Structure 1
Amino acid sequence: MPDQTADGLIDTSVIRYYHAHLYYTDAGGLAQARRLASACATRFDIQVGRFHERPVGPHPVGSCQLSFAPEQFGELVPWLALNRGDLDVFVHLGSDDDLFDHTQGAIWLGHSHDLALDIFSDNG
């Protein structure tokens, strides 16, 4: 867990970045994810990662990672919510604690999926 302040709360300054993972399970979903990532990249200052066609890391299905700054969250995540179509999107913050980031620091757009969290050691 990220460091807490004297009042037991965590300051948002620990958030260095956000990731939005576009999830897909077939060729149609992959094509939809490519279109969504491209449209997102024309509207926002993001980095589009590789399009994985199999589970990678904690992600149980094919996915593509979109990386963006915390300051973009308020515009980018609602845009993804409105434009994701049938894709499920896993959004998480990036601090120094991967387990925290992928559990307590996460939200889902669409359906949630069980992540392979055992790849993370408990950093806290």
Structure 2
Amino acid sequence: MADPSLYTYPSPLQGYENLEPLPNEFSDDGKSFANPPSKTKSESYNTFVSPITNDRRGGFDIHIYYLQTDNDETKFAHALWERIRREFPELRIYRVWDKPIGPHPLAMFEVNVFTPEQFGAFIPWLVINRGPLSALIHPNTDEPERDHTQRATWMGQPLPLTLKMFKKRQ
């Protein structure tokens, strides 16, 4: 995992300074805060926030891992791959690798999503349907090591990645 102190983080309130305080009233559920309505929806509903790519590379990669020496997991991974291809044909779905490749420590296949709408549909579906398999979800920016570590999200058991391929050669 990447050391968070290696990176800088802009304030989440950048562009929202000097606004009126938010109300302290609760919503009807009695637990969540009532938020004032916005005049417009966040642009993040339509495009990924910078620096995530919004081009043919895809905004997010999802790597779905399986233990290649376990016949049941191998069959499950292939069935999941086929189901994803049938249910989400608009996504980019790569071949199933039967061995570790790149920084990935186990056999896997990769799915790319291109829009927040696709992300919002596919990720909840994967939460329910991934079975025993782990999945790495990472954005695509110009910082691949950070994307695979500090910006990554895991479903299931996190796996140690081989990061040396991301190190710049001097």
Over 3 Å off, 4+ runs: none
Cα distance in 2 for residues equivalent to 1:114 and 1:79: 25
Cα distance in 2 for residues equivalent to 1:120 and 1:27: 32
Say yes or no: does 1:56 pair with 2:101: yes
- Give yes or no for contact 1:37–1:66 (8 Å, CA) kept in 2: no
Which has the larger share of helix?
1
Say yes or no: does 1:47 pair with 2:101: no
Which SS does the other structure have where 1:99 is aligned?
Answer: helix
Cα distance in 2 for residues equivalent to 1:88 and 1:18: 16
Q: Which structure 2 residue ranges, 5 or more long, are not aligned?
A: 1-7, 13-47, 54-58
Choose from 64, 69, 75 the match for 1:22: 64
Q: Which structure 1 residue ranges, 5 or more long, are not aligned?
A: none
Q: Percent identity, please.
A: 32
Higher relative contact order (CA 8 A, sep 6+): 1
Q: CA deviation at 1:8?
A: 5.2
Larger radius of gyration: 2
Alignment TM-score, normalising by the size of structure 1:
0.83
Q: CA deviation at 1:66?
A: 0.7
Could you say which residue in structure 2 is the equivalent of 1:37? 81
Choose from 133, 139, 147 the match for 1:101: 147
> Aligned-pair RMSD on alpha carbons?
2.3
Alignment TM-score, normalising by the size of structure 2:
0.62
Aligned length: 118
Residues 68-117 of structure 1, C-alpha deviation per residue, up to 9 Å, x if partnerless?
11422122111101110011111111111110110122111110000001
